[in-house]
Homo-oligomer: A and B are copies of this chain.
């Protein structure tokens, strides 16, 4: 059952004239005649009532004309849709990202994506540091934006941004600017810091920071969630080190003191992921 045959049938069912139809669909009358005949044989029914003079739809032919028209346009639409999937213009990507950039980098990226591919569906999720790579490998997410490098085989990474670390203190705190900081004064503070994960490069940078001041911080509380940390600092329970991306969040009553340490933001994806949607998004993100 060739769809082309059905198209020939539909053309003939409009014209009800072999010669005119044959010309319209760019084949000869004999070819058309035989195409219709094979169609009838294949279906085991008569489509047209015809003598050498007149062509007329049978009831079954009339029925099939109506139904096939619908089916063909459905199929046409499906193929169109599939081509868009192929080109990565449609489909779904699930992206995990750290909370820190939800008010800065993420809006930029999402704006680019929706501008370039308005039909694309993006799902944003937040995933604990320790689950990021696992989720990526298990196809629970397609892209992971992290502050940590990784050396997993099968996962590729690329740096897309970097921001400074900042000391976060309440507005009324004695620390007002970088020059106020000293090992002695810092030592006296209570810190709220992220969980010290093994192999987390972000964690390592923070440790390097304290090493530069040559002391071990008094950590009052560990938390992986920036918004929690900010709330605690605002209540005066301690001070924190955070990427200065958090400045873009609502942070009334807090002071961000930039530190000379940078933290990278990387984008991670499966090396063997050939979904064209992914390729399009990566291209977009790396574009500038």
Bound-state CA distance A45–B71 (Å) is: 21
Residue tally, chain A, CB below 8 Å to B? 31
Does any Cβ of B come within 8 Å of A243's Cβ? no
Q: Given that A59-B91, A71-B75, A275-B59 are contacting pairs, would A45 and B3 also be in contact in the complex, using a CB cutoff of 8 Å?
A: no
Shortest beta-carbon distance, A87 to chain B, in Å? 8
Which residues 23-58 of A sit at the B interface, judged by CB distance below 8 A?
43-46, 49, 58
Residue of B nearest to A86 (CB): B45
Residues of B within 8 Å of A59, CB to CB, are 85, 91, 275-277
**Which one of B44, B82, B276 contacts A63 once the chains associate, using CB atoms below 8 Å?**
B82
- The answer to whether B78 touches A68 (Cβ under 8 A) is yes
Residues of B within 8 Å of A60, CB to CB, are 82-83, 85-86
Residues of B within 8 Å of A212, CB to CB, are none
- The answer to whether A86 touches B58 (Cβ under 8 A) is yes
Residues of B within 8 Å of A79, CB to CB, are 43, 64
Residue of B nearest to A274 (CB): B49
Does any Cβ of B come within 8 Å of A1's Cβ? yes
Bound-state CA distance A81–B63 (Å) is: 9
Does any Cβ of B come within 8 Å of A185's Cβ? no
Residues of B within 8 Å of A283, CB to CB, are none
Shortest beta-carbon distance, A46 to chain B, in Å? 7
Does any Cβ of B come within 8 Å of A184's Cβ? no
Residues of B within 8 Å of A3, CB to CB, are 1-3
Residues of A at the B interface (CB closer than 8 Å) are 1-4, 43-46, 49, 58-60, 63-64, 67-68, 71, 74-75, 78-79, 81-83, 85-86, 91, 274-277
The 8 closest A-B pairs by CB, nearest first: A45-B86, A60-B85, A1-B3, A60-B86, A60-B82, A67-B78, A2-B2, A64-B82
